[in-house]
Structure 1
Amino acid sequence: VDDTIGSTVNVSWSDPTNITIRLTVVSTDGRSASVYQEIEISDISEPEVSIGVTAVLERTYGDNVVLSGQVSDNWGIETIEWLVDDQLVRSNAGDDEGATVYSHSFDSSYAAGSHTVTLRATDLSGRVAEDTASITLYDSTPPVIGIFVDEISLQIGQTFRFEANVTDAESNDLLFSWDFDGSVDSDADGDPRNDADSYGDSVLWSYENSGPQSVVCHIENDAGLVSEIEILVNVMSGSESDGGYDLMTMGMFGLAAFIGLVLIVMLFWRVISNRRLAALVAQQEETEEAPTAAPSADEQKAMWGGGGGTGVSAPESSPQIFGDVSSGMSGATADISTAMGEPEGGEIDPDIAALLESAKRSESAPASGAANDLLSAFESDDTVEREDVDFSHEGRTEEGASTWSPGEDGGEVFQPVDESEPEAQDRTVRQNCSSCEKMFEVDLPEGVDAARTACPHCGSIESISLG
């Protein structure tokens, strides 16, 4: 089947391909002849790319650069790319919306000077075309001055280090020049404040004459922008009455005063602490070394005399001693110290004397109850007069001697009653103190089975009893 007829034809294909073309010629007599031709269809044209910028653009740091390009191709676009200084910063597919529009901001990471922004397009056959816009980046801001001291005081001949605290993110190199005498135009350019007496961001300088001096530091960046620092220097000769000090000296004085105050506070605190500790130690030693107070006369009376409120029964009346004989009856006490084993005429212990006096008063008081009735019965008996009988063995003969023996008259044999004294009871009480838990012992007198006494170790009043 023929596609077209004629001696000349125009044919195009939308995609690359390989085809065979047949040409057939028919004569007037009906005869025909055909020829064949192999043809390869391929993309041999590059994409068309345009940013539309013909002049050089100028921008400063922080400004946005907005570029809009146009891209076309006879077959199709594969990718659209944007490059800044030949560095790929964005890539899109050919049919992405907004792929031909780009915005960029130059920060301090870029150096001042010329830069390029390129739009690159690649078609479906891999052919590439691009267009470039030139941009000049410049620094529009001078160096930034930091914190500095704008007035100092120096002595004549004192060397001082002058420093400039300056930053500039857009410039790699800064030029520092110092003019240390603002009243003298040493370079004769008509400006006494721009003389370059020294260079560098930190310089040493001293003055030989007293009086106020103006120091000016000029800082120039790569773009030629200049910032200034001005410092007033008061040069002192040492004889001024005001005795001014610079900030460094004043700071050193303040630091020394602070350290001295801290040391004084620490010393005072240590003295107070030592005094308190010494007082506590002395109090503890005084408590430990304090002797145990002996029981008072009233306490001894309560312990041994059975005074009221102690719950301990009063001891029975001790027989009164007359000379060397115990009478067994109440009466006046004579020669007590001798009976107690004390040397005659010696003084007995005051506490024991008080106890004896208390016992004497208790005996003199009338008894109550059944004991009183019994004593009254004995006291009502008539006194029997003593009769002395004289007896002598002289004149008795041997014949007249009695030969009676027990049991002869048939009566019961008299058996003597054993009147020996019973065995003495151990009246020593041993027990542990309820406060200090130390053992002590006390000898209770006859007739006293329970009492209260003071611990000889700690002085605590303890209750003791036999059994």
Structure 2
Amino acid sequence: WSNETTALLTPDEIRTYNVVLTVTDQSGNIGNVSGSIKSVDPTLPTFVPSSVANFPSKATQGETLGIEVEVVDLYDSLTDLRVHWDLQPDRDTDNNGNARDDPDRVGLNPQFNFERAGMQDIVVTVFDASGNTDTYAFSIEVEPVPETPPYWTGGALLLVALTMLVAVAIAGYRSLQRNRGFNMLIQRGLDGEEAQAHMAVVAERSRIGWFAKAEVHAGLDAGDVVSTEDRRAAEKQAEMEAIYGGSNQPMDPNAGFAPSTFSQAPLSPASQSAAAEAAALLSDEGDETIDESLEHLVEEIAGAAAVSIDTEVAASASVAMPPSVALPDDEPHPVPEPAEVSPENESPVALPAPPAPPAPSSARHTCGACGAVFEVDVPAGVAQAVVACPACSADQTITVGD
């Protein structure tokens, strides 16, 4: 440049330019000034955003992993760019003063193999020819190698699955049978609450198998079930039959009459003759009480069978005497000895028939388990008995007289 106070320099390459400024006056005096100008690259290399967005976040311990990155620079070509991967950002392994740009891996697509599980920090740096840089930091979670399950694990899992499937099928079948049993009870006149209560009692008193049918769940295998309304009607009918008698109950010919009294066994002719003679003697000589003499005399002649009359009847009975015989009013007389009767003229004494055994008593009871009303015959002399309910077979204690 000449005669210019200002000069414009446009470097065509990155280098140092040496510049000399010469000044000459009108007298020819010359002055020189020299200097150097270094041209630099003002543009920075950068990472392509889409490439760093695809960096992996997880890896497996011992697994080989490749990571690819794309870079760009407006001035330098790709061959003039360098890429460093620092796997230890907290240590300056190349001693350049920057701990985050060490070349542990280099290039645009290096391979990595992580030997330890855990979080792995990585810093990637790109350099151009002028030393301009750009960095990007990211982390990868390294997972441990999964343990190989034993060979029998598959079979065990299959067995568990089959067991669960069978259990679900059995539970479904049992639920289906219970619902069918519930519907059976509803069809027999029970309402919902009665059916549920009845099935609960059946389940409590008997062990119902997993494959039991609907009849077992409903308790129909032990007998039919009646509703509360039918049971109350049966109780009322039984009460009426107990008061007025049932249509199929045999009629008692003595019903409505006083019970028959105890009949005295008849005496033999010889005993009757002896008794008449004794009565005649008493009319002449006896002054003691007629009842005591007659009782003593009859006991001597006829034996104990003739005095088996009730005490009340014997005490209130009187002996009818012939009109010609007058009983003395006072002055007791000794009782003569009984007349002897020859054995050949005496007929055998007819003994009275033994009394019939006492009849059993009928006891009515309401089952405490199912509410059924039933009657049982309890033998005479038994105050308490344990019987099974004919409806639900539950043991019931019956007390006679309650």
More helix, by proportion:
2
TM-score by length of 1: 0.24
More strand, by proportion:
1
Of structures 1 and 2, the larger Rg is shown by 1
TM-score by length of 2: 0.27
